[in-house]
Amino acid sequence: MMERLYPICRSITGDGVRRTLDVIGEAVPLDRHSVPSGTAVHDWTINDEWNVRDAYIADASGRRVVDFRKHNLHLVSYSVPVRATMTLSELRPHLHTLPEHPDWIPYRTTYYDRTWGFCLSQRQLDAMDDDTPYEVVIDTALGPGELTYGEVFLPGETEHEVLLSAHVCHPSIANDNLSGIVVACELAAVLAARPRRRYGYRFLFAPGTIGSITWLSRNAGRLAAVRHGLVLTGLGGPGELVYKRTRNGDKQVDRAASHVVRRAGGQTRPYSPYGYDERQFNALGFDMPVGRLSRTPHGEYPEYHTSADDLAFVEDDQLLGGLDAAIAIIDVLERDRNYRNLSPYGEPQLGARGLYPSVGGKAASDTVMAMLWTLAYSDGRTPLLEIAELADLDFAVLDEAAASLMEGGVLASVID
């Protein structure tokens, strides 16, 4: 899927977003929504639609020295149409490079300012001649259209929902765009195959910032149903898993994600009002319990927002590790609950119930310790995840222990 999506020139609107949703829709049952340009969405207005046919800078011989067709990062996103002959000195204010990485092309946008520009490698710029006239062509269309986003909804046993979000607005960038999309699609497939789901799961595939704000504006009546949420992004590059907390930092998704990420060797970070769409969901007016799951966060690796964030930068094991973490977080949210010890007057005789090794004297296994910790704290008020943290054991181990203890008749689930 990443290989198919990588060449597409995406932006916050336009054919690239629609083509991307076409591919996503082959993998998951996607509902598409279109909102006209000029529509007010909270403090924002949906921009005119932007599409690009071609863009280049050519020398006097007609040779394209910068060519959008070779890499779509060469054109600043939302550049207005241009046809002109210019000197290099006239061109320079519109050219963007990365001198510290002379072979990389930067990624730049101008969504809300009607201007234009090209991105190129420093080596390309160094090879250009001050005395040569250059033909500058930007063949784009910018006018009334629509913003498009996609949703997948998997109903659950309750009316409560988990929101999973991935942005679909970056062009040929693998980790900081496509990794979140493909992990979200795989996660949706995993959850769709489950015969029972406690929560409903709503997957949002929308352009960053304006897309999530549009969704929030159009779905005010269902926001209260969202009990937990994750923004999925940057899950394919190197580095450990990183979970960014919600603005309040004390939501159940914070506890679940922190448990999973910490035990996978990753780290948890506090909220900040900069980043991806978690900052929209956590805005004061919404205050939604949505954190962010990624690897090395945006801006902390040199390849970020450059042509070096390509398919070679992303590895299968990294994507699978991100998917495994997302599944584990969902499993905690699905299965965490309070239990009550039905035999609280001393330790119950687990051996008589086939729950304890027949030969004693050896160190207790994680399975046995999980049962003992579960019994010790199951007072009807303490969630299983909290007991897992106290025991310093994986939630999954305690979840299995709780199931065994219930089967043995010494534990009961407290209905919530």
CATH number at residue 250: 3.40.630.10
Residues 168 and 309 in one domain: yes
- Contacts of residue 22, defined as CB under 8 A and 6 or more positions apart, other chains included, come to none
CA distance 271 to 280: 12
pLDDT on residue 141:
98
Q: Which residues contact 72 (CB under 8 A, 6 or more apart)?
A: 7, 9, 52, 171, 172
Cα gap 298→306, rounded to integer Å? 12
Tell me, yes or no, whether 35 and 150 share the same domain. Answer: yes
**Cα dihedral across residues 53, 143, 176, 325: positive or negative:** negative
Whether 126 and 84 map to the same domain: the answer is: yes
Same domain, 85 and 21: no
3-state helix, strand, coil in the chain (%, to 5): 35, 25, 40
Pair 104, 307: CB distance under 8 Å: yes
Note down pLDDT in tens along the chain; length 416 residues: 999 999 999 999 999 999 999 999 999 999 999 999 999 999 999 999 999 999 999 999 999 999 999 999 999 999 999 999 999 999 999 999 999 999 999 999 999 999 999 999 999 999 999 989 999 999 999 999 999 999 999 999 999 999 999 999 999 999 999 999 999 999 999 999 999 999 999 999 999 999 999 999 999 999 999 999 999 999 998 899 999 999 999 999 999 999 999 999 999 999 999 999 999 999 999 999 999 999 988 899 999 999 999 999 999 999 999 999 999 999 999 999 999 999 999 988 888 888 876 434 334 588 889 999 999 999 999 999 999 999 999 999 999 999 999 999 999 999 76
Buried-state track 76-91, b at ≥16 Cβ within 10 A, e below 16: bbbbeebeeeeebeeb
Predicted confidence at residue 416, as pLDDT, reads 62
pLDDT at 359: 37
Residue 340, Cβ neighbours under 10 Å: how many? Answer: 14
Domain end residue (candidates: 143, 161, 195): 143
**How many domains are contained in the chain?**
3
CATH number at residue 342: 1.10.10.10
Range of the domain at 315: 2-47+146-335
Q: Please give the single-letter amino acid code of residue 36.
A: P
Same domain for 288 and 403, yes or no, is no
Asked whether residue 23 falls in the same domain as residue 167, the answer is yes
CA–CA gap between residue 379 and residue 147 (Å, rounded)? 51
Task: Tell me if 214 sits within 8 A of 35, measured CB to CB.
Answer: yes
The per-residue pLDDT for 364 is 56
d(CA 281, CA 46): 18
User: At which of 312, 335, 358 does a domain end?
Assistant: 335
Backbone angles phi and psi of 61, in degrees to 5:
-85, -5
Q: Give φ, ψ of 288 to 5 degrees.
A: -90, 150
Residues sharing a CB contact under 8 Å with residue 271, sequence separation 6 or more, in sequence order: 244, 245, 246, 247, 248, 249, 278, 282
Question: Is the domain of 237 the same as that of 319?
Answer: yes
pLDDT at 360: 43
pLDDT score for 17: 98
Of the chain, the end-to-end C-alpha distance in Å amounts to 40
Closest CA to 78 of 41, 111, 56: 111
Locate 196 and state its tokens. 């029972």
Residues 342 and 370 in one domain: yes
Q: Give residue 203's pLDDT.
A: 98
- CATH code assigned at 59: 3.50.30.90
Answer yes or no: do 230 and 306 share one domain: yes
| Token pair 């092309």: residue | 105
The β-bridge partners of 150 are 32, 205
Same domain, 120 and 202: no
Residues 43 and 55 in one domain: no
Q: Dihedrals φ, ψ of 338, to 5°?
A: -95, 145
Tell which of 310, 335, 360 closes a domain: 335
User: Does residue 35 share a domain with residue 151?
Assistant: yes
Categorise residue 172: left if φ over 0, alpha if ψ from -120 to 50, beta otherwise: beta
